[in-house]
Structure 1
């Protein structure tokens, strides 16, 4: 099927739901560790508490990709039903996460939240490949990244903004501050509204041969054999991109899980107060806890705000790529390589920076994030069968979640122990991992994946 070249606003509409998805991911990535710490988790326990996120991705995304490939509704299309169901479940989970009274409940909500976000996210990746001709793939994924950057920046600053508007950061032992609760409620609303916008402004192409599609649906479901067959027959380019993804996502999982304890402790000098150190029945001890806890909560707001800068710089980087790729071809391989190395330098520099300099580290990290969200998918989409785009995108997610599972099951703690006991060494590990990911781009040799040729179709 010859696909129509789309204009900017059509691509914007089909990608706008990612604003809500990124609100969910940014609130989760920026503030779940803070919630865990507030509920009494030690910094060594945090990576394991995060294991729900990659595990749900490993299970959910290939299944959703496979099912969406085999779905068609004249009213709702192929991918949009999954957007909508995921948005409803994610919004409910986002709202209730900060009301968790115990660690196990917070970890459970994280599991539900991440599964629901994944239900929406992977069909969005497949939608870009479904709707756009190959010459517009880089452009489409970069527009998606632009919207993700906006969502990351705004959502990461929500608790800080809510606090500035007068909502208290103080809270009793084991209670999440009101500023975080309100921020998550706003995120839940934005998630649902942005997905609905895409659902009602975007149409999808029907299967090329509807009769053959219907006959295939009637056949016995061979989900597991089909998944295993697609894993076994994945293209070489996909495997090579998987190596790059492994080190990239190990780095970012390390940041999401440990940036808050690392930076509040090393950069802001306000670590989370340990419950065992205080006897709250003694007035002086209770007052001392309140002072330290409020300082930790406020510096956590600052860390979240600083992390939002990586969303802002990824947005600026994506905007630059949108303008460039609308008229010209790019070398995806070298763009991705340089971007990842710059992000690695940003992580390494955190060891030496003060609070006012932290934003510059996240600017560099944002450049790598903008590239991670666009270049691998653009390269992959030029190397796979378009009829299997959903399941391939879901399988590709394995290269995202497996490094996160390894990190959560002790990988981060084991590597940190080689440097010392300070949490900031987690950021050092993230920097080294991202630089390795950048250098692994030398593995990519497929010319079509590196730079798709017919640029004249792009508008």
Structure 2
């Protein structure tokens, strides 16, 4: 019997996603600082994107497994919360160990240790990400789905803002050093990761304590699922049958999911480029640091690295945190209006328009070079930076709008196309559309940068802009379902 699922008040919706603030805090620290850390530990520009492949590969492996496991889990903690909590503890371990990679030089090269900790963090973040997405789908009724994913997007971006600016604050307000010689990690970055680990664990525990998941009986009633069929689907089956069922699900994924995959490809191809190459791009383009100072062999052959180069790299690295915080601020603001805009104009139009703005914003990076130094009052402190660095805050508006849409609208469009008893595993499979384009980007962007653009990183940001606009065009080919799909047959079980 299908019962109407209770509506949630605002704070209930808030608590469901609150832990995502901390997870994204950690993820933002990684996005803004891993290229900086790996470069300081000895990675060159061409190999940076290869190190970043760890993130999508972990997502590709972890999210479908966790999605399927969480669909089948019902215990005292609930269905999704056990995975969220376990992922948080593992992520904290990685966040504490990553900035201390140079301490393990007696056992392995710092860069290898760093790569291993990035892998641990990424695997852990993915263990958290997928159940959080599914938790919203589980707990929030269909008519509140836009607001549910919009609140999640808002919290994600609050966490991203704080995480992104933290190294800058620790340098310019607290007074920690933001520079590092080859093979070391800047103290401001180290302490930022320690603080991020604390915030991540605290917010996740808040969600686990404040959110009570539905019992299996209530969940099945609210989702219109036959309990007996669900129990049969969740019964233990041989591994070969599980794999067969998995590939059956992939082959028979909803049409909406396939069409969204094209949009996701172009969107995440662009985002991966931004995360990997914004630091070298603005260091070269805005701080006027020659591309040779990103070549470890050139640095090793030089008598010394000039203090001006070290200072410029540190300042540019900090400013990347400001830029990433800025686009997260604009994304958070846009998230407040996103649900109403999607309800009024339709998800597709809002989604496509947001991606177009993001693409134009990436391309506009070329227009903002200005080497004149200016004093900037950021309320918490004043800094002296090139005028071009300040002007780069303008394209962050469009990038933030695109980011907010990418975080919310694909999932809102997809949720209505998924059978209730397979939401977790399909949300995990949908992560293929996030991970695969990043893998493609990681394998190709470094080669494009070196072979086509001669390591001039600003031009790879333009490639990201073109990709984002192609994603906007693909949105118009997505067909949203009018009704909730039926529960899958027993032959399609996983």
Q: Could you state the TM-score of these two structures normalised by the residue count of structure 1? A: 0.92
Alpha-carbon distance in structure 1 between the residues aligned to 2:450 and 2:403: 23
The answer on whether the counterparts of 1:244 and 1:438 sit within 8 Å (CA) in structure 2 is yes
Alpha-carbon distance in structure 1 between the residues aligned to 2:252 and 2:450: 36
The answer on whether the counterparts of 1:264 and 1:303 sit within 8 Å (CA) in structure 2 is no
- The root-mean-square deviation of aligned C-alpha atoms, in Å, is 2.1
Alpha-carbon distance in structure 2 between the residues aligned to 1:121 and 1:359: 28
Give the counterpart of 2:189 among 173, 180, 185: 180
The answer on whether the counterparts of 1:267 and 1:355 sit within 8 Å (CA) in structure 2 is yes
The answer on whether the counterparts of 2:254 and 2:418 sit within 8 Å (CA) in structure 1 is yes
Give the counterpart of 2:248 among 216, 221, 229: 229
Asked if 1:190 corresponds to 2:199, the answer is: yes
Alpha-carbon distance in structure 1 between the residues aligned to 2:450 and 2:473: 22
The answer on whether the counterparts of 1:270 and 1:299 sit within 8 Å (CA) in structure 2 is no
Alpha-carbon distance in structure 1 between the residues aligned to 2:270 and 2:461: 8
Give the match for residue 85 of structure 1: 86
User: Could you give the per-residue CA deviations for residues 118-148 of structure 1, whole angstroms, max 9, x where no partner exists?
Assistant: 0011011011111111111111001100001
Residue-pair matches, total? 443
User: Could you give the per-residue CA deviations for residues 411-451 of structure 1, whole angstroms, max 9, x where no partner exists?
Assistant: 453377445541111100100000000011110233639xx
User: Could you give the per-residue CA deviations for residues 188-218 of structure 1, whole angstroms, max 9, x where no partner exists?
Assistant: 1111001000000001122226666555544
Give the match for residue 29 of structure 1: 31
Alpha-carbon distance in structure 2 between the residues aligned to 1:302 and 1:232: 44
Is the partner of 1:374 in helix, strand or coil? Answer: helix
The answer on whether the counterparts of 2:273 and 2:445 sit within 8 Å (CA) in structure 1 is no
The answer on whether the counterparts of 1:52 and 1:110 sit within 8 Å (CA) in structure 2 is yes
Asked if 1:138 corresponds to 2:146, the answer is: yes
Give the counterpart of 2:280 among 240, 257, 261: 261
Pairs within 5 Å for 1:407-422: 407-411=441-445, 413-414=447-448, 417-418=451-452, 421-422=455-456
The answer on whether the counterparts of 1:83 and 1:119 sit within 8 Å (CA) in structure 2 is yes
The answer on whether the counterparts of 1:125 and 1:393 sit within 8 Å (CA) in structure 2 is yes
Is the partner of 1:268 in helix, strand or coil? Answer: coil
Give the counterpart of 1:396 among 416, 420, 430: 430
Give the match for residue 270 of structure 1: 289
Alpha-carbon distance in structure 2 between the residues aligned to 1:8 and 1:438: 31
Give the match for residue 342 of structure 1: 357
The answer on whether the counterparts of 1:310 and 1:362 sit within 8 Å (CA) in structure 2 is yes
Give the match for residue 432 of structure 1: 466
Unpaired runs of at least 5, structure 1 = 450-459
User: Could you give the per-residue CA deviations for residues 278-334 of structure 1, whole angstroms, max 9, x where no partner exists?
Assistant: 579x9xx44x44442232112110122112111101000001225667xx5550000
Asked if 1:248 corresponds to 2:257, the answer is: no
The answer on whether the counterparts of 2:153 and 2:407 sit within 8 Å (CA) in structure 1 is yes
Asked if 1:364 corresponds to 2:398, the answer is: yes
Change (3 A) 1:7 1:443: same
Unpaired runs of at least 5, structure 2 = 103-109, 221-225, 369-387, 484-494
Alpha-carbon distance in structure 1 between the residues aligned to 2:289 and 2:73: 51
